Amino acid sequence: MKFNRREWLRSAALAGGFTLLNGFSSIEPLTEEEIKRFNPRKLNNPIRLSSNENPYGPSEYVRNAVKKAFDDGCRYPYAYADELAEMLATKHGVAKESIIITGGSTEGLKIAGITFTAGGGEIIAAKPTFLAMMQYAEMWGANINWVPVDENMGYDLPEIEKRITSKTKMVFLCNPNNPTSTLLPKDTLKDFCESVSKRTIVFSDEAYYEYIEDPTYPSMIELVKKGANVVVSKTFSKVYGMAGMRIGYLIAKPELAQTIRRNVVAMSNVYAIEGAKAALRDDDFFKFSLKKNKEAKDIIYKTLDHLELPYVNSSTNFVFFKSGRHINTLGKQMLDQGVRIGRPFPPFYDWCRISTGTLEEVQAFAKGLLKVYS
């Protein structure tokens, strides 16, 4: 049987795809002990790789701490939160008064935004980025000054700094950025934040900070320690695998923290707080999550390389790649393959954000993508 060129290319791609998938099948499955300790989620239909959730956790250590806390469910969480704040202050080398416990880092972003910009203040933010702060602040009368990401999908820091005026009450940085997964150069970042914090407040969202592989990469908590007008948000949702428990925190110099704290609404609850304390002590789960995230990204990268689809080297638990087709179209096609991918991120409608999952989930994504592009 003869093939025309298009049929031949399709046949070659399929053959290469099978070879690729066979290579993935050699990955060793988790042991029974790892399943017990690290709690991988079960395969669902559809597989949800759309929300940047850690596919492992809460760990056995965290689950046991939460169960033990059931007897304290009749208590208000304030005293328990104070103990967690002390642990976090020690971990980050700041005063306890610098820590604000929140119901996930999203609450922290929202309350910080309205604290300083409600009623007409301006926030300068990149586009695209994580929108929780800006969407909520707009509801309270804030103005958003959007700065498009540069050609490398990174923050255009010179343009952001150029736009700062007396109306600017906050500059928002999501670093690593969501959805582009890009990381700002460490020297540029520090100089920028140090300079800008003398003119306005800098908010550094570090939800994905733990996934950064450079051990020398600085957190902007270092500037908080120096008394700069910098607010940092952190979360237990990502590397700690506690997204459903809703707990995060902000770090700012005490006087700034005191101002923000007045607007805290939810804070968190006894169970999440006790789970967070346990998570901070569970170094094995922390390392396991990072290891498996790296393995999952490797499968995604190899699949995209095989299909010759460009992507951004990720410093997070997701990959942003150029799909070459509208995200709504690709979303439906992948859902037909049993995988839910990320939502649209204007103006990059021909790009897709795919979260890492368990190795089985990511293999299913790879198989589905190969079929869609065959």
Residue 2 has a pLDDT of 44
Q: Which candidate, 285, 293, 287, places its Cα nearest to that of 38?
A: 285
- Position 186 pLDDT exceeds 90: yes
Same domain, 142 and 174: yes
CB atoms within 10 A of CB 55: 25
Q: What is the pLDDT of residues 9-19, one digit of tens each?
A: 455 555 566 56
* Crossing angle (nearest 10°) for helices 283-307 and 270-281: 80
Domain extent at residue 110: 62-281
> Distance between CA 29 and CA 35 in Å, rounded?
10
- Per-residue tokens: 248: 């995060």
Beta carbons of 188 and 220 less than 8 angstroms apart = no
Same domain, 253 and 298: no
Same domain, 344 and 202: no
The type of residue at 5 is R
> Distance between CA 116 and CA 168 in Å, rounded?
10
Same domain, 148 and 177: yes
371 burial class (0-12, 13-18, 19+ CB within 10 angstroms)? middle
> Distance between CA 249 and CA 233 in Å, rounded?
6
Q: Which candidate, 371, 308, 313, 307, places its Cα nearest to that of 337?
A: 371
Same domain, 240 and 114: yes
Average pLDDT over residues 176-195: 96
Same domain, 171 and 186: yes
Last residue of a domain, one of 233, 256, 281: 281
The predicted model scores a pTM of 0.92
> Distance between CA 174 and CA 313 in Å, rounded?
16
Same domain, 113 and 185: yes
Provide the CATH number for the domain around residue 307. 3.90.1150.10
**Which residues, other chains included, contact 139 with Cβ-Cβ below 8 Å and sequence gap of 6+?**
none
User: DSSP string spanning 275-321?
Assistant: HHHHHHH-HHHHHHHHHHHHHHHHHHHHHHHHHT--BPPPSSSEEEE
> Distance between CA 250 and CA 230 in Å, rounded?
10
Same domain, 163 and 201: yes
Average pLDDT over residues 198-211: 98
Same domain, 146 and 255: yes
Same domain, 192 and 70: yes
Q: What is the pLDDT of residues 111-138, one digit of tens each?
A: 999 999 999 999 999 999 999 999 999 9
User: DSSP string spanning 71-105?
Assistant: GGTTS-SHHHHHHHHHHHHHHHTS-GGGEEEESHH
Same domain, 137 and 248: yes
Same domain, 89 and 174: yes
Last residue of a domain, one of 219, 250, 281: 281
Beta carbons of 271 and 73 less than 8 angstroms apart = yes
Residue 5 has a pLDDT of 46
Domains identified in the chain, total number: 2
Average pLDDT over residues 325-347: 97
What secondary structure letter does DSSP report for 312? Answer: P
Per-residue burial over 324-350, b = 16 or more CB atoms within 10 Å of its CB, e = otherwise: eeebeebbebbeebebbbbebbeebee
Q: What is the pLDDT of residues 73-115, one digit of tens each?
A: 999 999 999 999 999 999 999 999 999 999 999 999 999 999 9
Last residue of a domain, one of 216, 251, 281: 281
Q: What is the pLDDT of residues 209-268, one digit of tens each?
A: 999 999 999 999 999 999 999 999 999 999 999 999 999 999 999 999 999 999 888 789
